[in-house]
């Protein structure tokens, strides 16, 4: 592999030497015998280096193509939306981890006060198609003043499918 890399790094010079050799072959009768042998060896080297460069290029192209395909697959997988159930669990855990713990303990209903951004996210998730299999969200029309700002009282009923 080291030889292939050296050939690849010096491909321009090898091509130039090959061109000089082809010109020298035309002037073969005017060259001294030692120079004629040198031209022969250089021509043979260029002849063998060319297919090696082709193999190296194909090998590197295949490796690059494989890496690109893996990166594209990773990006596509990351860009796919997570299932609703996972997003709901993540949202509820962010609000309060005790909600999911309560469901596991057999208490599917909970209530509390949510901040505006939490309520918005939970409402958005509970409005998605199929969300009624997992959650029923009841928002009360009151406003609660807290130390961190205002909040809205909610009642959350989780279905066993969330487990």
Per-residue pLDDT tens digits of the chain, which is 163 residues long:
676 667 666 776 777 777 776 666 666 666 676 676 777 777 777 777 777 777 777 888 889 899 999 999 999 988 888 899 999 999 999 999 999 999 889 999 999 999 999 999 999 999 999 999 999 999 998 888 888 889 999 999 999 888 7
33 C-beta neighbours (distance < 10 Å), count: 7
* CA-closest candidate to residue 137, choices 129, 127, 148: 127
Domain-by-domain residue ranges, the chain?
A: 2-79, 84-162
| Coil/strand/helix, residue 20 | helix
CATH topology (fold) of 84-162: Ribosomal Protein S8; Chain: A, domain 1 (3.30.1370)
Q: Is 106 left (phi over 0), alpha (psi -120 to 50) or beta?
A: left
* pTM of this prediction exceeds 0.85: no
Spatial neighbors of 150 by CB under 8 A, at least 6 apart, are: 115, 116, 143, 144
């Amino acid at each position: 592999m080291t030889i292939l890399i050296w050939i690849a790094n010096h491909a321009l010079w090898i091509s130039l030497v090959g061109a000089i050799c082809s010109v020298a072959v035309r002037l073969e009768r005017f060259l001294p015998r030692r120079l004629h042998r040198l031209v022969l060896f250089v021509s043979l080297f260029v002849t063998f280096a060319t297919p090696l460069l082709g193999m190296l290029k194909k090998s590197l192209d295949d490796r690059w193509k494989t890496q690109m395909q893996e990166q594209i697959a990773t990006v596509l997988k990351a860009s796919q939306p997570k299932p609703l159930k996972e997003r709901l669990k993540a949202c509820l855990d962010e609000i309060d981890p005790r909600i999911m713990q309560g469901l596991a303990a057999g208490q599917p209903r909970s209530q509390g006060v949510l901040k505006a951004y939490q309520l918005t996210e939970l409402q958005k998730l509970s409005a998605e198609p199929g969300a009624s299999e997992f959650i029923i969200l009841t928002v009360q029309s009151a406003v609660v003043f807290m130390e961190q700002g205002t909040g809205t009282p909610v009642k959350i009923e989780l279905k066993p499918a969330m487990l």
